[in-house]
């Protein structure tokens, strides 16, 4: 277990986003996870009252299981089996495979399903022909599993369908997401392992066998509403220093004063530089007359421009 | 440059939307209207003393108790008691208090007659809510402390009418006792209470009025049983109906000795067949029996002697008796004769002659008379005058006096079932607009006044004149389409089966029609209205074809009852077509397809889950068959906790005349019934338009919204916590929120809220859902938001891929692909409990959204969606702030200025409907309950138009002033120049 299963709540948040793809991709599975889970359950102080397995944000182990794996642990009293049935366009459902899962009991009485394994039956010739027909007419391939795995009453099934043309790739790639709540299956989402492009083209698989990916999902818990009561109180205590504006740089604070100051300085400098020159000029002629003469010329030029317009 | 301008606009938008969109006082009523109603009247009490003479106190089926002005029909005061607090009876005591008995005889309240203030309230201990009776002794002398008697369950309560204190309480019987009649003989302290125990035993109690002591009690059982109706014929004879409703049983109970006498109704009335009903009445020795075809008045001569006085043919109605003196009573008979109504008043002493006979012309769209209440007044010549308050089949209320309808109230509008909108006709050439438009002089005068107002020069009289001009501007009440799309028709369907079109300008009723198929008939005994849909919206032929709406109903309350269709013209209310379907109606799906005549295709799912296509034309079938492989639907079975998804298929040959398609079950979701029950489902509005899938977030990053029209939001709660708040502890309450794709049945997201419980309200829009519930742990209401984003398009952010054309932006999205979504969610506390949730919609979906929250105070609050952003954080970064993210708070703010309904209340608020205007910034909001309220709001302010009170005159004046100033300065400068040159 390389992933950090240390802190309690982040487990619920992280698992779905980060862990699932890793598991699917690597097919990595470990018993340690279960162990950790159990410890977490004991330490985390789950409310002991009431049978509500659904309340626990349990991240069940999720794994890929290639087919042809013998259903193990059938002798184990803790394991349950339930069958997958499929419908190839007719009205009847027929067995297509078996799920095996470990039943895990919690200290407070709830039970959850973990360690899901799946073995797919090989397609018979008849089924293969039926599947080909489905592919041709772009029909729905439907599967179902019992909603209550402990005592399948034979009435309530969760059903899922996909357009048959979404499944074939190299082999027949299928992807199950089983949403559980305790020992109940709420829904099974069945589909292709990847995208299903819309203009669905007729394509036959190279290999007429299923490659199955299964994911077991429990509900995640909503993030708690943030409460700022303490902070608000703290703010009220120190009224004056409650929120300090961020410190600004010197330039940002005083540019208003610095810019005019700069102008004044520059003005003074140019004046200081002009001063000696003018004093020199002043000796030769009166600057007054020059200025007076220059003024009319400038005005005439401007008026001409106006008239030209 | 354009980008900068765009950015500038965006920033402007963001900033402007933080400013509240409150109204100024003088803007009230410019774009909004509010109408007050009371609902269908059940009881009416006239008051005869002094000032009270001008008023009538009514209680209604919407649980409203109101005091109306008898001269005008206006409401003096009213109180809406709420959905669960049903009013059983209403009366007047001490000449100044209105007494109401409600909630199955368990709450008694007294209201002050002049102003409607509550005087006192008493909660009575009733073993089980049952039929209850209120008895206010009539012969009371004011000043004495009078008792009010309440018979309910199996006990009698006597309350003081001055303060509501319980004076005495008597338990009569522990069995299922139902008191039918209570009366007090004149000037005696003994109350007679008559009733049935179970269905076959008659019982009479003699109770001391002052102490509650049971003086005498007598019982007798009748072997063929009673149906539970009884009418008091005289002081010692009561007439009841037997269990089969074919025999009248007259019961005499003189001195505690009970005698039964059976009379076969057919012996009395030979044409009688079927079942009879006793009309509740209090006449001296007269009995009114309702047999299927007419009302029969019978005189009770003795215990076993009944005599027919008069037969009044249907449709007709008869009022209660009105005591004029000790011996004389008057009652009114109203009888329909096509469009006329004959109104007769008779005295019980002389039944052959009429005191008053009048004929009234009646509008055909009101249906039959349902109830009549009679009242008398003194004429100028000191004789008795009579007027009647009439409740019609469409729930409207009329006052009839001197052969005329003095006033009428369209109170069916208090019980709106569904609504839709329709565009108004296009303005045609040749249609005279001149009469609507003012003359030029008037127009100029108006603008001059406005200008004066803006320049603060107007006198108070002129200010009032300006306000009046603004309020009744002809512009908004025209019957043609406008450029901004503000003028529309709101077409509403009421519980009575009446369809009304309201103009959005001022809320007036443009037309109304009481649908004949939704009226009680022999083929359809108990019809009720379900929904209204848009049937035909002509675009190509908008000039000469009228749009029409489809009204759907059902014959009876069971799902297997046959459905009713009616197609009504949206401009004039003409019924084009109406039919009773051969199949039932369970769901209706308007499809986004139209046939060649622009009729919208609809799929009706019946009780056997067969799908029927409407309209039933070969053209529509052809269009439908092309799209059939892509049509999926789902059904939510609330009781079974199952959601199932289906596609449609054709089994065998398609019958072109019937167009019936079979369902094929594709998926199902089974919620474990021991831990979850479905509390609520919500979907996106079908006509909602999303402007862009991309959402620009901070740091120039892009997120792609998961925009699927097939998202279904489902909320389930723990079965234990499905009751009221407080019925479960936080440990045994939880709430699950699901996002489900309805095509593939995939659960896209599932999240649990511990310690949360209903009532839940939710709204789904674009890629988000907001839901409201109660958090038991925090003892507060909460609102949560879930936003769902598409990850499969994340790669498109790579510019090189875009350049090289390796993006998947144009690829169609399939629900069968494995969804790659991320979900962001957040919860916030919210102070109010909520009655209804809605979201604004605009024409192009560009404008930011506001949530419209119907609060418990019957107001509509607009809350910016940005407050419900899951990406809010405690310290947003600079770039996030620029994006408009508000720092995280634990609760949502309620800004008093952002109440859409400003100071008004929409009593009994049930629904909020939003419709886009043509102007992108604006949404039309229609909220209904007992009251109606309409307004238009602009969530990001009206950035795309000038406001209505924009002063063109001021603009003109400014321009003129500027031009003048320009000329003057030019001349001046010219002069100066010349002077300079000559110098």
Please, is A39 exposed, middle or buried when counting C-beta atoms within 10 Å of its C-beta (0-12, 13-18, 19+)?
A: exposed
**Average pLDDT estimate for A104-115:** 78
Complex ipTM, two decimals? 0.78
Higher pLDDT, A294 or B942: B942
Residue A288 above 80 pLDDT? no
Q: Which of B637, B663, B675, B975 to mutate to test the interface with A (most CBs of A within 10 A)?
A: B675
Alpha carbon of A267: minimum distance to chain B alpha carbons (Å):
32
- B780 to chain A: nearest residue by CA? A225
Check if the beta carbon of residue A216 is closer than 8 Å to that of residue A116: yes
Predicted confidence (pLDDT) per residue in B88-121, tens digit: 889 888 888 899 998 888 899 999 988 899 999 9
Mapped onto helix, strand or coil, the DSSP state of residue B683 is: strand
Q: DSSP state, B142?
A: B
Tell me the C-alpha distance between A261 and A245, whole Å: 26
Contact yes or no for A50 and B731 at CB 8 A: yes
Provide the pLDDT for residue B274. 76
How many beta-carbon pairs below 8 A join chains A and B? 160
Alpha carbon of A228: minimum distance to chain B alpha carbons (Å):
6
Tell me the C-alpha distance between B540 and B549, whole Å: 18
Contact yes or no for B746 and A189 at CB 8 A: yes
Interface of A with B in 125-144 (CB under 8 A): 138, 140, 142
Mapped onto helix, strand or coil, the DSSP state of residue B847 is: coil
Furthest C-alpha separation in chain A: 123
Check if the beta carbon of residue A112 is closer than 8 Å to that of residue A218: yes
Q: What is the mean pLDDT of chain B?
A: 84
Predicted confidence (pLDDT) per residue in A31-73, tens digit: 443 333 333 333 333 333 333 333 333 333 333 333 333 333 3
Contacts of B628 in chain A (CB under 8 A): none
DSSP B225-285: -EEEEEEE-SSSEEEEEETTSSEEEEEE-GGG--EEEEEEHHHHSTT--S--EEPP---SS
**Residue in B670, B754, B814 closest to A156 by CB:** B670
Question: Where do runs of H (alpha helix) occur along B871-951?
Answer: 878-883
A283 domain-assigned: no
Q: What is the pTM of this model?
A: 0.81
- B775 to chain A: nearest residue by CA? A225
**Residue in B670, B744, B890 closest to A158 by CB:** B670
**Average pLDDT estimate for B689-710:** 85
Contact yes or no for A299 and B811 at CB 8 A: no
Residue B561 above 80 pLDDT? yes
Q: Which of A13, A45, A52 to mutate to test the interface with B (most CBs of B within 10 A)?
A: A52
Pairing of strands B747-754, A220-221: parallel
Contacts of A142 in chain B (CB under 8 A): 665-666
> Is A56 within 8 Å of chain B by CB?
no
Contacts of A186 in chain B (CB under 8 A): 669-672, 747, 750
**Residue in A55, A220, A225 closest to B828 by CB:** A225
**Residue in B669, B816, B829 closest to A225 by CB:** B829
**Residue in A57, A184, A225 closest to B890 by CB:** A225
Question: Dihedral, CA atoms, B519, B524, B530, B536, nearest 10 degrees?
Answer: -80
Task: State what percent of residues in chain A have pLDDT above 90.
Answer: 4
Higher pLDDT, A187 or A295: A187
Q: DSSP state, B518?
A: G
- A190 to chain B: nearest residue by CA? B746
Beta-carbon count within 10 A of A141 CB: 23
Contact yes or no for B675 and A184 at CB 8 A: yes
Lowest mean pLDDT among B268-277, B422-431, B855-864, B938-947: B422-431
**Average pLDDT estimate for B841-855:** 92
Provide the pLDDT for residue A303. 34
Residue B314 confidence class, pLDDT cut points 50, 70, 90: confident
Contacts of A189 in chain B (CB under 8 A): 744-747
Higher pLDDT, A44 or B260: B260
Residue B141 above 60 pLDDT? no
Higher pLDDT, B437 or B23: B23
Contacts of A219 in chain B (CB under 8 A): 736, 750-752
Predicted confidence (pLDDT) per residue in A178-237, tens digit: 998 888 889 999 988 878 877 888 888 888 888 888 888 887 888 877 776 555 444 444
Alpha carbon of B982: minimum distance to chain A alpha carbons (Å):
12
Query: Of B761, B745, B754, B551, whose CA–CA distance to B667 is shortest?
Result: B745
Alpha carbon of B867: minimum distance to chain A alpha carbons (Å):
14
**Average pLDDT estimate for B562-591:** 90
| Domain extent at residue A161 | 79-221
Contacts of B734 in chain A (CB under 8 A): 52, 54-55
Q: Which of A18, A57, A148, A159 to mutate to test the interface with B (most CBs of B within 10 A)?
A: A159
Provide the pLDDT for residue B144. 58
Contact yes or no for A196 and B827 at CB 8 A: no
Contact yes or no for A303 and B977 at CB 8 A: yes
- A144 to chain B: nearest residue by CA? B667
Residue B539 confidence class, pLDDT cut points 50, 70, 90: confident
Name the residue with tokens 């959905």.
B83
A267 domain-assigned: no
Provide the pLDDT for residue B118. 93
Interface of A with B in 22-41 (CB under 8 A): none
Cross-strand bridge partners of residue B562: B584
How many domains does chain A divide into?
Answer: 1
Q: What is the mean pLDDT of chain A?
A: 66
Q: Domain limits of chain B?
A: 315-414, 417-427+478-577, 429-477, 586-670, 958-982
> Is A229 within 8 Å of chain B by CB?
yes
A263 domain-assigned: no
Tell me the C-alpha distance between A188 and A166, whole Å: 17
Tell me the C-alpha distance between B7 and B884, whole Å: 13
Provide the pLDDT for residue B474. 65
Buried b vs exposed e over A144-174: b needs ≥16 C-beta within 10 Å?
Answer: bbbbbbeeeeeebbbbbbbbbbbbbeeebbb
Name the residue with tokens 């047999």.
B291
Contact yes or no for A160 and B734 at CB 8 A: no
Provide the pLDDT for residue B38. 93
For residue B26, what are its two tokens?
């003088």
Contacts of A187 in chain B (CB under 8 A): 667-670, 745-747
A22 domain-assigned: no
Provide the pLDDT for residue B21. 55
Provide the pLDDT for residue B129. 65
A123 domain-assigned: yes
> Is A276 within 8 Å of chain B by CB?
no
Pairing of strands A210-217, A172-181: parallel
A13 domain-assigned: no
**Average pLDDT estimate for B442-460:** 76
**Average pLDDT estimate for A137-146:** 89
């Amino acid at each position: 277990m390389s992933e950090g299963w240390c802190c309690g709540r982040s487990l619920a948040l992280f698992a779905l986003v980060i862990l699932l793809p890793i598991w699917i991709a690597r097919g990595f599975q470990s018993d340690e996870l279960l162990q950790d889970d159990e410890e977490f359950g004991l330490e985390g102080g789950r409310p002991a009252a009431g049978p509500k397995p659904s309340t626990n944000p349990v991240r069940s182990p999720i794994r890929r299981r290639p087919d042809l794996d013998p259903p193990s642990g059938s002798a184990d009293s803790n394991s349950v089996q339930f069958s997958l049935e499929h419908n190839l366009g007719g009205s009847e459902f027929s067995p297509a495979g078996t799920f095996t899962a470990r039943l895990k009991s919690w200290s407070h009485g709830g039970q959850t399903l973990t360690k899901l394994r799946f073995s797919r039956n090989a397609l018979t010739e008849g089924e293969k022909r039926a599947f080909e027909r489905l592919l041709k007419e772009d029909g729905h391939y439907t599967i179902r599993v019992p909603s209550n795995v402990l005592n399948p009453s034979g009435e309530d099934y969760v059903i899922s369908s996909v357009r048959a043309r979404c499944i074939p790739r190299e082999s027949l790639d299928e992807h199950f997401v089983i949403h559980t709540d305790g020992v109940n299956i709420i829904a099974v989402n069945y589909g292709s392992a990847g995208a299903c492009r819309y203009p669905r083209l007729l394509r036959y698989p190279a290999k007429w066998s299923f490659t199955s990916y299964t994911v077991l999902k429990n509900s995640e818990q909503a993030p708690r509403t943030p409460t700022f009561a303490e902070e608000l109180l703290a703010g009220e205590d120190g009224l004056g220093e409650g929120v300090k504006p961020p410190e600004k740089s010197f330039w940002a604070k005083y540019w208003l004063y610095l810019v005019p100051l700069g102008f004044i300085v520059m003005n003074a400098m140019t004046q200081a530089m002009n001063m000696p020159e003018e004093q020199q000029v002043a000796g030769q002629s009166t600057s007054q007359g020059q200025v007076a003469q220059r003024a009319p010329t400038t005005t005439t030029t401007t008026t001409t421009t106006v008239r030209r317009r | 440059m354009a980008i900068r301008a765009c950015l500038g606009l965006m920033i402007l938008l963001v900033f402007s939307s933080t400013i509240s969109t409150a109204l100024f006082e003088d803007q009230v009523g410019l774009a909004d209207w509010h109408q007050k109603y009371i609902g269908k009247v059940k009881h009416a009490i006239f008051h005869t003393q002094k000032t009270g003479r001008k008023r009538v106190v009514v209680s209604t089926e919407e649980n409203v108790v109101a005091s109306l002005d008898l001269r005008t029909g206006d409401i003096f005061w009213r109180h809406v008691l709420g959905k669960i607090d049903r009013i059983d009876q209403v009366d007047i005591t001490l000449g100044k208090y209105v007494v109401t008995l409600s909630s199955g005889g368990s709450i008694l309240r007294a209201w002050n007659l002049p102003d409607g203030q509550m005087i006192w309230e008493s909660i009575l201990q009733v073993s089980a809510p049952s039929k209850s009776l209120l008895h206010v002794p009539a012969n009371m002398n004011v000043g004495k402390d009078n008792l009010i008697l309440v018979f309910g369950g199996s006990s009698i309560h006597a309350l003081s009418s001055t303060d509501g204190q319980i004076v005495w309480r008597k338990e009569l019987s522990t069995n299922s006792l139902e008191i039918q009649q209570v009366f007090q003989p004149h000037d005696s302290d003994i109350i007679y209470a008559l009733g049935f125990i179970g269905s076959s035993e008659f019982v009479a109690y003699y109770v001391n009025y002052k102490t509650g002591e049971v003086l005498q009690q007598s019982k007798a059982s009748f072997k063929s049983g009673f149906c539970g109706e009884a009418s008091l014929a005289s002081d010692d004879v009561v007439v009841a109906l037997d269990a089969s409703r074919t025999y009248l049983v007259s019961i005499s109970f003189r001195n505690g000795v009970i005698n039964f006498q059976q009379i076969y109704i057919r012996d009395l009335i030979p044409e009688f067949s079927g079942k009879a009903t006793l009309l509740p009445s209090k006449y001296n020795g007269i009995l009114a029996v309702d047999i299927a075809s007419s009302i029969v008045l019978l005189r009770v001569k003795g215990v076993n002697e009944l005599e027919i006085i008069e037969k009044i043919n249907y449709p007709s109605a008869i009022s209660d008796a009105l005591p004029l003196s000790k011996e004389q009573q008057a009652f009114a008979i109203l009888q329909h004769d096509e469009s006329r109504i004959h109104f007769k008043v008779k005295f019980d002493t002389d039944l052959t002659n009429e005191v008053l006979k009048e004929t009234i012309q009646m509008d055909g769209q009101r249906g039959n008379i349902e109830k009549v209440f009679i009242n008398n007044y003194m004429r100028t010549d000191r004789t008795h005058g009579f007027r009647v308050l009439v409740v019609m089949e469409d729930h409207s209320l009329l006052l009839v006096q001197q052969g005329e309808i003095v006033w009428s109230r369209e109170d069916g509008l208090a019980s709106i079932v569904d609504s839709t909108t329709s565009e108004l006709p296009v303005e045609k050439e040749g249609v005279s607009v001149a009469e609507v438009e003012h003359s030029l002089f008037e127009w100029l005068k108006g603008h001059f006044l406005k200008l004066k107002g803006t320049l603060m020069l107007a006198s108070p009289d002129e200010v009032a004149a300006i306000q009046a001009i603004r309020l009744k501007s002809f512009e908004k009440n025209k019957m043609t389409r406008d450029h901004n799309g503000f003028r529309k028709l709101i077409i509403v369907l009421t519980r009575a089966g009446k369809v009304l079109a309201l103009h959005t300008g001022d809320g007036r009723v443009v037309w109304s029609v009481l649908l004949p198929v939704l009226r009680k008939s022999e083929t359809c005994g108990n019809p009720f209205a379900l929904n209204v849909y848009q049937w035909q919206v002509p675009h190509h032929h908008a000039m000469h074809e009228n749009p029409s709406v489809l009204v759907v109903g059902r014959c009876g309350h069971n799902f297997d009852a046959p459905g009713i269709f009616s197609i009504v013209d949206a401009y004039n209310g003409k019924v084009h077509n109406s039919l009773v379907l051969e199949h039932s109606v369970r769901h209706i799906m308007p499809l986004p397809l139209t046939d060649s005549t622009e009729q919208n295709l609809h799929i009706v799912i019946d009780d056997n889950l067969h799908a029927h296509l409407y309209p039933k034309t070969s053209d529509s079938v052809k269009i439908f068959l092309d799209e059939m492989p892509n049509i999926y639907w789902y059904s939510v079975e609330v009781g079974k906790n199952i959601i199932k998804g289906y596609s449609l298929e054709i089994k065998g040959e398609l019958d072109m005349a019937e167009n019936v398609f079979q369902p094929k079950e594709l998926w199902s979701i089974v919620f474990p019934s021991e831990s979850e029950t479905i509390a609520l489902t919500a979907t996106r509005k079908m006509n909602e338009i999303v402007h862009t899938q991309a959402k620009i977030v901070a740091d120039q990053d892009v997120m792609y919204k998961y925009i699927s029209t097939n998202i279904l939001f489902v909320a389930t709660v723990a079965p234990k916590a499905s009751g009221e708040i407080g019925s479960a502890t936080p440990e045994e309450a939880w709430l699950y929120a699901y996002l489900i794709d309805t095509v593939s049945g995939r659960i896209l997201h599932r999240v649990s809220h511990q310690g949360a419980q209903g009532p839940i309200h939710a709204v789904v829009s674009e890629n988000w859902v907001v839901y409201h519930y109660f958090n038991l742990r925090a003892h507060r209401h909460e609102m949560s938001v879930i936003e769902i984003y598409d990850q499969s398009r994340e790669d498109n952010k790579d510019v090189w891929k875009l350049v090289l054309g390796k993006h998947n932006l144009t690829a169609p999205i399939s629900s069968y692909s494995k969804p790659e979504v991320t979900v962001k969610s957040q919860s916030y506390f919210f102070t109010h409990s909520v009655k209804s949730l809605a979201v604004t919609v605009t024409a192009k979906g560009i404008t930011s959204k506001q949530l419209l929250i119907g609060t418990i105070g019957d107001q509509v609050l607009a809350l910016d969606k940005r407050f419900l952003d899951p990406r809010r954080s405690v310290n947003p970064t600079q770039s996030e702030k620029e994006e408009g993210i508000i720092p995280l708070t634990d609760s949502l703010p309620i800004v008093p200025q952002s109440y859409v309904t400003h100071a008004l209340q929409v009593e009994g608020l049930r629904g909020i409907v939003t419709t886009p205007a043509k102007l992108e910034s604006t949404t039309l909001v229609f909220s209904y309950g007992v009251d109606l309220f309409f307004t238009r709001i602009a969530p990001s302010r009206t950035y795309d138009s000038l406001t209505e009170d924009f002063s063109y005159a001021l603009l003109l004046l400014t321009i003129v002033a500027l031009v003048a100033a320009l000329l003057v300065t030019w001349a001046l400068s010219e002069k100066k120049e010349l002077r300079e040159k000559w110098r």
